[in-house]
Structure 1
Amino acid sequence: MAVFTPVSLDDLSGWITQFPLGKALSIRGISSGIENSNFFINTDSGEYVLTLFEKLEAEQLPFYLELMRHLAERGILVPAPVANRDGKILHQLNGKPAAIVSKLAGESQLAPQPVHCAELGAMLACMHMAAEDFPIRQPNLRGLEWWLQTTPTVLPYLPPELQQLLSSEVKFQQDFAAGQVYAELPLGPVHADLFRNNAMFVGENLTGIFDFYFAGCDTWLFDLAVTVNDWCVDLDSGALDLPRLQAMLDAYRAVRPFTAAEQQAWQPMLRAAALRFWLSRLYDFYMPRAAEMLTPHDPGHFERILRLRISEAVPALA
């Protein structure tokens, strides 16, 4: 999240009258992240989050918003999109597609312990199962096809060693995705970006997960691998933290047991999850966009994680 398109209180005040939220009292930009323009807004009826979509196409947006509504209706702890008086949840503001969602209580847990990882693992499994009957299908827009398209763009900026690492890993993932084990992996709508700053806690209790704007249909195991590579690692080295990892896997498994194919695919999926974020951070680093309050990310962090997932054995899922 960031602010690419400013929104003033005056901009908001007239626009928000279409919602049953009362008067707009204040608006404040959110600095974390790099994709959309996000704001905390206060109204007569409470606090909400306003998002202006900067890169996603209008035809893609119903997937994200309807998925959040679908999950919220099934008891999954996610922000619920706010409909206007005509029942619409996708709108326009300052020339950009826009939406308002409910604001979760609590704060992000940036130094998670095993108890937090267990809470998140159980909720992730529940979310996967609750989304299984979601009728809209949209691919993960930062999946293999994007990796193949983006790698040639960033390669010229990299030294030879990193060019070799990136090219070889993309080839490995392309070959793995064409194999039988991958074909047997359960899949459906996934969050695909469930980092520490995309979940909220009150104490040890998870109050919700948010920022679904990288969601898409992919393997559930990839979603878990993305989550593990952030929540269950030492941030300085990228090494897996075994107590946090075991807590997350045990809690997920208690809700949805892993299949034989998932057990075989675990290390390749951890590599895929590291590759996805190394590549996107490389792209954002070398081709930045102008934004207010933009928070850059270090590509080297996921380079280190990828190297470790390639070179070191990982604990089995079973």
Structure 2
Amino acid sequence: MAVFTTVSQDEIARWLLDHDLGEVRALRGIASGIENSNFFLTMEQDGVTREYVLTIFERLRFDQLPYYLHLMDHLARHGISVPAPMPARDGEILRELKGKPATIVSRLPGASQLAPQPGHCAQVGAMLARMHLAGQDYPRQQPNLRSLAWWQQTAPEIAPFLDADQRRLLADEIAHQTAFFGSPDYAALQGGPCHCDLFRDNVLFDTAGGQQTLGGFFDFYFAGHDKWLFDLAVTVNDWCIDLPTGALDVPRAEAMLRAYHAVRPLTAVEGRHWQDMLRAGALRFWVSRLWDFYLPREADMLQPHDPTHFERILRRRLDAAAALPWV
């Protein structure tokens, strides 16, 4: 969502001639994030103004993108509040713009809640469970591209930038996760389409009548088939922690987990491996942030994240046992 590929309002107006969305009234880049070029797009049609998000994909290929876009469409049709892709007149939801894949989706209401309370976490947990269940009959298949194989492949590229203690932590945790992923218990875990990146800035809350209600999930471009417990662990590792230390915030974590469990009951094998998945979620984002920090790409609005944040979280997950006492 940093802007790697710049486009003008006139270029977008010409590109949109094949859509039935009206006339372009405004276009502005979105500064947050580091993967794609994203823009807020204001359109007017028959006197009505509507908001959309235009995404130009910088890393993902045309052949990879249908999984994400059709997953969003599938979830929206199943009552999950996610951005809905806007097809062109020929029905296509993915087209070329400036030599790269691009799409337009509806813009959800609300704003990110960056200081969540247990009530926010409960709403996120319940919708995440509903999303997992709604995706069970999604027919397309694509693995999580930032899972174990990617960690193993990326580790040698980032290791030269680390000190000896960090290299040891990285190697030991990849070895642990390799063994875990190869175990019968891991194979027994339930799974399906997962968001895989459900951080605070990928969720919107809409304020009405003094109450904040969940507006929806967005930015599905790290989604893939994975274990549902991994998706939950990634979410807890961001929503339910003390940011300066990485320690779990118990009231928020319990609120999210119990709300999730009420919709999609967690199993005994999931309970036994909760700490392993919290570690896996922390490792995944430590590796990717190291990669983005030390091997960056140029972008007009690039804001790489601090990799030490997830190093702290991983060390915390190693030091403190985590359990799901009600499963």
Structure 2 distance, partners of 1:42, 1:245, is 37
Helix, strand or coil at the partner of 2:215: strand
Deviation by residue 1:212-255 (Cα, 9 ceiling, x = unmatched)? 00000000000000000000001111011111101100100000
Helix, strand or coil at the partner of 2:62: coil
What's 1:281 paired with? 289
Structure 1 distance, partners of 2:83, 2:282, is 27
Helix, strand or coil at the partner of 1:258: coil
Deviation by residue 1:180-226 (Cα, 9 ceiling, x = unmatched)? 11011001010000000000001320010000000000000000000
What's 1:193 paired with? 197
Sequence identity of aligned pairs in percent?
60
Structure 2 distance, partners of 1:267, 1:76, is 28
Choose from 215, 219, 222 the match for 1:211.
219
TM-score, normalization: structure 2? Answer: 0.96
Aligned residue runs from structure 1 range 91-106, under 5 A: 91-106=95-110
Helix, strand or coil at the partner of 1:107: coil
What's 2:23 paired with? 23
User: Could you tell me whether the CA contact under 8 Å between 1:266 and 1:317 is conserved in 2?
Assistant: no
User: Could you tell me whether the CA contact under 8 Å between 2:272 and 2:323 is conserved in 1?
Assistant: no
RMSD, matched Cα: 0.7
User: What is the one-letter code of the residue matched to 1:8?
Assistant: S
1:144 paired to 2:157: no
What's 1:13 paired with? 13
Structure 1 distance, partners of 2:151, 2:325, is 26
Helix, strand or coil at the partner of 1:35: coil
1:315 CA drift (Å): 3.7
Structure 2 distance, partners of 1:47, 1:16, is 14
What's 1:43 paired with? 43
Helix, strand or coil at the partner of 1:27: strand
Helix, strand or coil at the partner of 2:96: strand
1:297 paired to 2:305: yes
Structure 2 distance, partners of 1:27, 1:94, is 16
What's 1:67 paired with? 71
User: What is the one-letter code of the residue matched to 2:275?
Assistant: Q
Choose from 139, 158, 165 the match for 2:169.
165
User: Could you tell me whether the CA contact under 8 Å between 2:112 and 2:202 is conserved in 1?
Assistant: yes
Structure 2 distance, partners of 1:246, 1:165, is 28
User: Could you tell me whether the CA contact under 8 Å between 1:40 and 1:47 is conserved in 2?
Assistant: yes
Structure 1 distance, partners of 2:111, 2:242, is 21
Q: Report the CA distance shift for 1:289/1:36 in structure 2 as closer, same or farther (over 3 A).
A: same
Structure 2 distance, partners of 1:159, 1:132, is 43
1:272 CA drift (Å): 0.1
1:255 paired to 2:259: no
Helix, strand or coil at the partner of 2:41: strand
Unaligned ranges ≥5, structure 1: none
What's 1:311 paired with? 319
1:241 paired to 2:249: yes
Helix, strand or coil at the partner of 1:132: helix
Helix, strand or coil at the partner of 1:131: helix
Structure 1 distance, partners of 2:325, 2:96, is 44
Structure 2 distance, partners of 1:313, 1:8, is 52
Deviation by residue 1:155-192 (Cα, 9 ceiling, x = unmatched)? 11111000000000000000011111101100101000
Unaligned ranges ≥5, structure 2: none
Structure 1 distance, partners of 2:44, 2:161, is 50
What's 2:233 paired with? 225
1:317 CA drift (Å): 5.2
TM-score, normalization: structure 1? Answer: 0.99
Helix, strand or coil at the partner of 2:136: coil
Structure 2 distance, partners of 1:6, 1:239, is 39
1:316 CA drift (Å): 1.7
User: Could you tell me whether the CA contact under 8 Å between 1:181 and 1:264 is conserved in 2?
Assistant: no
Structure 2 distance, partners of 1:221, 1:140, is 13
Q: How many residues align?
A: 318
1:39 CA drift (Å): 0.3
Helix, strand or coil at the partner of 1:108: coil
Structure 2 distance, partners of 1:255, 1:316, is 16
Structure 2 distance, partners of 1:278, 1:208, is 26
Deviation by residue 1:30-74 (Cα, 9 ceiling, x = unmatched)? 000000000001010411000000000111000000000000000
User: Could you tell me whether the CA contact under 8 Å between 1:107 and 1:201 is conserved in 2?
Assistant: yes
Structure 2 distance, partners of 1:13, 1:202, is 30
User: What is the one-letter code of the residue matched to 1:277?
Assistant: F
